Structure formats: structure tokens, C-alpha cells
Amino acid sequence: MADVPAPGPVVDLTTVPKLNHIHIIPLTAPGPKSNYLDWVKAVCALISQIVEPVNLRFIRQHGSNAHSTWEALHKAHQNSTAGGRMYWLQKVVNAKMDGDDIDSLINELATSVEKLNALVEPGKPLTTDNIHAASLLKALPSDWVSCVSSLMNEPDVSAGKVVLALKAESLRRKNHLADVRMKAG
């Protein structure tokens, strides 16, 4: 799954407010009057202009290396925990079309698949166990989600771990109900 690039949604960059105030110097071809050597600095300057101040901490150490700056931002905003993978898997599996707007559905799914694909790596492929765990979580009523929420911050959560947490919660609820009945009766 990681080898197949997902088609991304079409974004009209003229609608991004920060980009309306940025001056981009056109790149000239390599040669005696080329500004190519300054281009790396221009890219870094552009990235630092459009990045929110709270995110500058991720790129400061990369100086004028545009590629590593971009990679640092990308990594900082990837949620590669089990919760992130399950969230995007659920978004893909549970997407529904509203009315007749097929374009919105296609764009929404493309975005969700792209986000999920970014979290799938050769050493960490998407498996049927991931799908099983995500399905278990999706099937839970809201009052059961709290018993597995701490698992979502772990890097990887198996369906077996989710099942154990759910069985422990079931036992806790049964014991609590038995205690309440004993005290009442």
C-alpha cells in the first residue's frame, strides 16, 4: 500500500490567505545569470513565511536545507500512533456521499487515503489485524471508548490488545453492577 501514491485533492492555492502576501522570485535557468544557487534559500524563506510560528521549532535546526526542512514539517504533523492509523482507516472505510456531490466524496476519500498511506511504511504495513482493531473501535458505543483510548497513543495496537482491554472493561462493569445490586439488596 505504501508504494501506490494516492491521488491528492485539487487545491486552489489562491484561496490560501498566507500565500497571497508572499513574493516568490522566479527561478532562472542555470547559467551565468542564474539565481539557482539562491533558490534553496528562497524555498527555505518561503517555507518559513507560510509556517505558523508554533511550528518554527521543527524547522529551525535545518537552516538552508529545504528538503530536510520540509521533511521535518511532514514528520511533525504525521500521527503515526495506532490512533492515527485507525482514525484514517476508519475515515476511508466509513466515508459516505452527501446527496449527489460525488466530487466531494472523491476528494474526501483521496485525502483520507493519502493521510493513511503516509502512515504506512515498509516496516509497518497495514494489516488485517489493523483493520480488525479499527473495526472493534468503530463498533463500540461512546461510553466504551474511554477504556481503550490510552491504547491509541501507542505506536502499534493489535486487535488482541483491544480485545483484552474490552474484556477487562466488561468484567469491571459486571463487578460494579454486582456491587451495586449487593448494596441495594
Domain ranges of the chain: 13-76, 82-184
Residue 37: predicted pLDDT? 66
pLDDT the model gives residue 175:
94
* Digitized pLDDT (tens) for each residue of the chain, 185 residues in all: 444 444 455 556 566 666 566 666 666 776 777 776 666 777 777 777 777 777 777 788 887 787 888 888 777 766 767 888 888 888 898 888 888 889 998 999 998 898 888 888 888 888 899 889 888 888 888 888 888 888 887 878 899 999 999 999 999 999 999 988 999 87
β-sheet bridge partners, residue 124: 121
Place of cell 490512533: 83
Q: Long-range contacts: 118-124, Cβ < 8 Å, 24+?
A: 118/74, 118/78, 119/78, 119/79, 119/80, 119/84, 119/85, 119/88, 120/1, 120/2, 120/85, 121/2, 122/2, 124/80, 124/156
* Under 8 Å between Cβ of 126 and 85: yes
Cell numbers for 93, please give them. Answer: 472505510
Residues in the chain: 185
Instruction: Enter the C-alpha cell of residue 32.
Output: 551565468
pTM: 0.52
Please tell me the predicted confidence (pLDDT) of residue 117. Answer: 87
